[in-house]
Structures are given as structure tokens and as C-alpha cells.
A and B are shown apart, each in its own frame.
Chain A
């Protein structure tokens, strides 16, 4: 018999029956993306950490309402994103941390792809600055789609938007970015 890792729906079912070990596996599988999602919204590492943690606890409590067979990741991320949004709101007008480019390859990081290597540092900085200059609603869609690598569906779910809204915001944002960096 091949000992393969349990698939996600097994873990969810076990967690629904109160198996916290199974839920621990789900947390470990998704904590990276959950934290990054929270960070993109809250823009503060401590707030993001709290939001992700609270999101996982709330998601566990809400597992009874999770529809069997539905994708878990966007469902979870929506809860985390709400937590992050609430923290950001209560943080008021505190200056947000701007996103930065990683300037050196850290041990353990993936080796940059040849495409990434082709982009000059200057061009990347310009592009990121242009993303940061987008309106919040567009910036979030762009961040989810391209920085987190979420699909359009997942982005819609995470941000609580309609799929059409994600598509239109993406294309509006891309048009604006193009205009700014391809002058």
C-alpha cells in the first residue's frame, strides 16, 4: 500500500469532526498564502500575523458551514482578508508600509527565473511603484492575481467581489500600469 499524504478534503472532513491535528495540517498548508494575503491588505506584519491567526481560528469554528467539495483556499482567504481589513480599518490613517522588492536572493529562496533576471531593477521598481499608485480597489485585485498568484475566481472570493468586477478591475489596472511604465 502506498502511503500518500491525505488529500485536503480528507483533512477538512476530519477537522469538521473535531480532529485538530488534521486542522493543523491544513493550517501549515495554507499559512503562507494566508499571511501574505493579510499582509497585502493590512500592510503591517504584526497585524497580518494576527489577522491570519484569527482567520484560522474563525475558519475552524465555521467549518460546519463549509460546503463539502468546495475549494478550501479561497473560503479561508476570504475570512482572513476580512480580519485583515478590520485591522486596517481600526489602524485608521496610520501610514502603511509600502511593498518593497526583495533586493537579494535569500538562502532557501527560489532561484529567479530567467524572465525575472531579464527585468532590470529599475524597471521592476518602476512597475511596483505604479502598482502602489493604483487605487486601493484595483491594487488589491492586482496584488491577489499577480503577487499571490490567485486565480480570478479565488481573487473574487477572497475579496468578496463578483468575478466580473475582478475582471474589469484587472483590465483597468493593467491599462493604467501599461500607460505608466510603457511611456
Chain B
């Protein structure tokens, strides 16, 4: 009997297997897909003049939902309370890692980590990478004014968006207070957004799409 067979024959004492099916099914009874309706309506209420491109509204909604971010084209950007332009609380990378329940991606360059609610921000050179679990921050919306451009791209094997041009804002509802918060961008300019396994990533500061994709490609989970 060789070593591999011996290993296979080891009677590992696993704890008794729980019956998960009833509990899983119970959790599935709660509708999962409707959450975006709530913030969408809430934002409509705040922004009276909010207008998606009418003829392609449905298509835009489908096309431009990436992870926890919903991208909408608007004529006028809504006025919502603007938060101080901060990246959050500066922490060690280990602390940032502990703050979230997914493996963080990081660049190979030295960076500074910040935790901002359910979001982790890493800053290095001229870039900021934000990462959050779509389910934890499902209310993010990206509002694009006229003059901004959106390109659908493939990022790390999944669908992503490259947004350039005019100012844009992320709007989300604070999970604690229920208030709508507009995050005015800390860096103006271009943004690459993508989603992978339930985690939404947003990279700011890249000057070109090629640069953004190269940065995204080189991110690793340290």
C-alpha cells in the first residue's frame, strides 16, 4: 500500500454533517433581486430631474449593473448630502483584511489602506482602489452626467465598465441611518469598475484604459 492510498484510508473524524438544506431554502425565500428597486426609487425621490436615456432605459439598467454598482445616466445630478472627501480611517493592511469578509486585492507597490464602512480603500501613486462586498453595500449607484462616456470592458475575466469624462458621483444609502449619501469623488477623472465573485472593485486615477486594465491585471490577493 503506497502513501497516497494510506492517506486516502485515514479515517478522519469529521464532525457530524449538518442538514443544511432546510436553512438554506428558508434564506432563499427572501427575495434577493429586489433590493436595487428600493435605492433606485429612493434616488428618484431625491433627484426629481433624474432621467435615464428613455429609449434604452431597460437595456442600460441591465448592461450597467456591475456588482454593487448601478450606473445611470442622468441629465442633472441629484443634490444629496456630500460627505467629507475622505478615504476613511487609515489602518494596517491586516486590519483592513479583518474588516471585510472577502480576500482583498492589492497592488505590488506600497500602498496605504483605509476602511470606510463596508468599503476598503487602498491608495498608492495616483490610484485608489475601493473594494466592497456587493451584498454589504448594495445601494451604490453611479450617476453619470451628460458628457461622460461608458465603455463595457473585460476586467480580470469578468465584465467591467470604464467611465471617462464628466464628473460622476457614487450615491448610496448609509446602512446605519438609511440616509442617502453622495460620495463626491476624491479624485476626479476616470474610473474602472468591475465585479468578481460578489465583490465590487473600483479603480480610480488611471489615465488611460490600458493603464487601468494593466493595474487591475496586476492586483493580487496577498
Contact = CB atoms under 8 A, between A and B. Distances in A.
A69 B101 CA distance: 30
Interface stretch (B19-27, B146-154, B169-177): B19-27
B18 interface: yes
A103 B5 contact: no
11 contacts: A23-B28, A27-B25, A35-B18, A35-B20, A48-B15, A53-B20, A56-B24, A89-B97, A89-B98, A101-B10, A127-B6
Interface of A: 20, 23-24, 27-28, 31-32, 34-36, 39, 45, 48-49, 52-53, 56-58, 60-62, 79, 82-83, 85-87, 89-90, 92, 99-103, 112-113, 115-116, 118-119, 123-124, 127-128, 131, 142, 145-147, 149, 174, 177-178, 181-182
Given A62-B198, A115-B5, A174-B4, A102 B24 contact: no
Contact of A60 (B3, B6, B11, B28): B28
A103 B97 CA distance: 38
B7 interface: yes
Contacts of A82: 102-103, 197
Contact of B9 (A34, A52, A113): A113
B1 A118 contact: yes
Contacts, number: 118
Contacts of A181: 3
A58 B103 CA distance: 16
B13 interface: yes
Contact of A24 (B21, B98, B102): B21
Interface residues of B, number: 33
A143 to B, nearest CB: 8
B12 A31 contact: no
B6 A36 contact: no
Contacts of A58: 198
A49 B18 contact: yes
A102 B198 contact: no
Given A124-B10, A174-B4, A39 B15 contact: yes
A116 B9 contact: yes
Contacts of B17: 31-32, 35-36
Nearest to B8: A146
Q: Which of A57, A102, A178 counts the most B-chain CB atoms under 10 A from its CB?
A: A57
A23 B25 contact: yes
A101 B13 contact: yes
B32 interface: yes
B94 to A, nearest CB: 10
A52 B17 CA distance: 11
A35 B23 CA distance: 14
A101 B7 CA distance: 12
Contacts of A45: 15
A31 B21 contact: yes
Contacts of A60: 24, 28
A103 B98 CA distance: 37
Contacts of A116: 9, 11
A149 B23 contact: no
A48 B20 CA distance: 11
Contact of B12 (A27, A28, A145, A147): A147
Contact of A28 (B13, B14, B21, B29): B21
B24 A79 contact: no
Contact of B3 (A57, A62, A102, A177): A177
A115 B9 contact: yes
A86 B102 contact: yes
A101 B11 contact: yes
B23 A53 contact: yes
